[in-house]
């Protein structure tokens, strides 16, 4: 009898220990019980500009939206100031899957040639024309081309405003840019058009531009007003010529390798966040461009000139057909038609 009671006590003690052990292990709880949340997927987004730029503010908003729309299952880390490399480096990284997202502007044309048509100076007439192109069938076709040729997804397009010329002398006509050493991005239509205008275009990665201007390696550069302001170009240049030679965009792009690793719900959330961040970014550009120009004039010592752009346009357009024939006459004509 004593042995029997002892056996019962041992069985009860073991049962209690097993129960306590199971109740403390959330991962092995029975169906319907509490389980630990899986770790979020952490993705990298890079761009070449400073954390003062509108791009970075909009990228922060995109990261917030992705976190919100995926219920915290996808987190995005931001890498400004070319931390992940220049535009070409990041585009190549997206192809390999080592970079998940990047903000890539005209250099994307080196990975999908049809984008080169959009880079022709004085092809796009104004902001309304740009929107018809990038947010309509043409923009959709360009994105499809990029995915097929390079395994990069252009999730959406952000507007940037027109590109303007900065120099250390007043520019009032084409005569004032003859032989001007002008930094341009590594985009063939830009090089050809500025050479036709009479400048001496010099392709250069953005990370090298400030010091090149400071040291006189180049005399000038060109970019939208918010970009000029955020990157302190006014510290090494004294004049802005309002040439409005290109109405600008940037792609919010994603590695398709990364995209295919996500769930359908996460993929949909990323596209929704991209669209909403584009609206946010475009509104910032519209609200701040004039204010930033005023700040450079009134507080940074910048002088603004307004040259007759028609003579710039006439010269730049002499290279249009060369690139239209090379990269797609149908696309070129569709862009022209969208202005009507």
In a domain, 288, yes or no: yes
CA distances from 28 to 24, 25, 31, 32, 131 (A): 9, 6, 9, 11, 54
**Which CATH number covers residue 334?**
3.40.190.170
In a domain, 19, yes or no: no
In a domain, 1, yes or no: no
Residue 164: partners with Cβ closer than 8 Å, 6 or more residues away: 222, 223, 224, 225, 228, 240, 241, 242, 243, 244
Q: Residue 273: which domain range?
A: 39-338
In a domain, 16, yes or no: no
> Residue 271: CA atoms inside 13 Å, Cβ hemisphere, count?
10
Helix axes of 320-327 and 329-338: crossing angle, nearest 10 degrees? 120
In a domain, 66, yes or no: yes
Per-residue pLDDT of the chain (340 residues; tens, 9 = 90+): 444 444 444 334 444 434 334 444 334 444 555 566 789 999 999 999 999 899 999 999 999 999 999 999 999 999 999 999 999 999 999 999 999 999 999 999 999 999 999 999 999 999 999 999 999 999 999 999 999 999 999 999 999 999 999 999 999 999 999 999 999 998 999 999 999 999 999 999 999 999 999 999 999 999 999 999 999 999 999 999 999 999 999 999 999 999 999 999 999 999 999 999 999 999 999 999 999 999 999 999 999 999 999 999 999 999 999 999 999 999 999 999 999 8
d(CA 317, CA 149): 28
In a domain, 12, yes or no: no
In a domain, 18, yes or no: no
In a domain, 333, yes or no: yes
d(CA 45, CA 101): 4
Look at residue 34 in the predicted model and tell me its pLDDT.
54
Look at residue 12 in the predicted model and tell me its pLDDT.
41
d(CA 103, CA 56): 10
Compute the CA torsion angle 184, 189, 191, 192 (nearest 10 deg): -160
The three-state secondary structure class of 60 is helix
| Number of structural domains the chain divides into | 1
């Amino acid at each position: 009898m004593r042995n029997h009671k002892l056996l019962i006590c041992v069985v009860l003690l073991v049962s209690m220990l097993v129960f306590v052990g199971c109740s403390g292990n959330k991962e092995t709880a029975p169906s319907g019980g509490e389980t630990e949340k899986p770790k979020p997927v952490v993705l990298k987004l890079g761009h070449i500009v400073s954390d003062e730029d509108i791009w970075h503010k909009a990228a922060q908003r995109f990261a917030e939206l992705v976190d919100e729309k995926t219920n915290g299952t996808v987190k995005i880390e931001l890498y400004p100031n070319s931390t992940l490399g220049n535009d070409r480096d990041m585009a190549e990284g997206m192809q390999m899957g080592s970079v998940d997202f990047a903000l890539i502007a005209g250099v994307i044309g080196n990975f999908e040639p049809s984008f080169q048509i959009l880079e022709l100076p004085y092809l796009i007439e104004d902001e309304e024309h740009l929107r018809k192109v990038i947010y309509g069938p043409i923009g959709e076709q360009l994105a499809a081309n990029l995915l097929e040729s390079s395994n990069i997804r252009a999730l959406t397009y952000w507007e940037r405003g027109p590109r303007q010329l900065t120099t250390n002398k007043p520019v009032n006509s084409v005569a004032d840019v003859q032989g001007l050493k002008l930094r341009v991005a590594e985009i063939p239509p830009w090089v050809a058009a500025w050479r036709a205008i009479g400048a001496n275009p010099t392709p250069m990665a953005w990370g090298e531009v400030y010091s090149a201007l400071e040291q006189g390696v180049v005399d000038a550069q060109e970019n939208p007003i918010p970009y000029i302001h955020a990157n302190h170009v006014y510290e090494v240049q004294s004049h802005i010529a309002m040439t409005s030679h290109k109405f600008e965009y940037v792609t919010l792009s994603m590695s398709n390798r990364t995209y295919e690793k996500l769930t359908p719900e996460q993929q949909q959330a990323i596209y929704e966040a991209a669209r909403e961040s584009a609206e946010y970014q475009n509104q910032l550009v519209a609200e701040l461009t004039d204010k930033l120009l005023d700040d450079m004039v009134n507080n940074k010592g910048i002088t603004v000139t307004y040259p007759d752009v028609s003579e710039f346009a006439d010269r730049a357009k002499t290279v249009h057909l060369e690139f239209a024939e090379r990269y797609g006459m149908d696309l070129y004509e569709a862009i022209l038609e969208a202005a009507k």
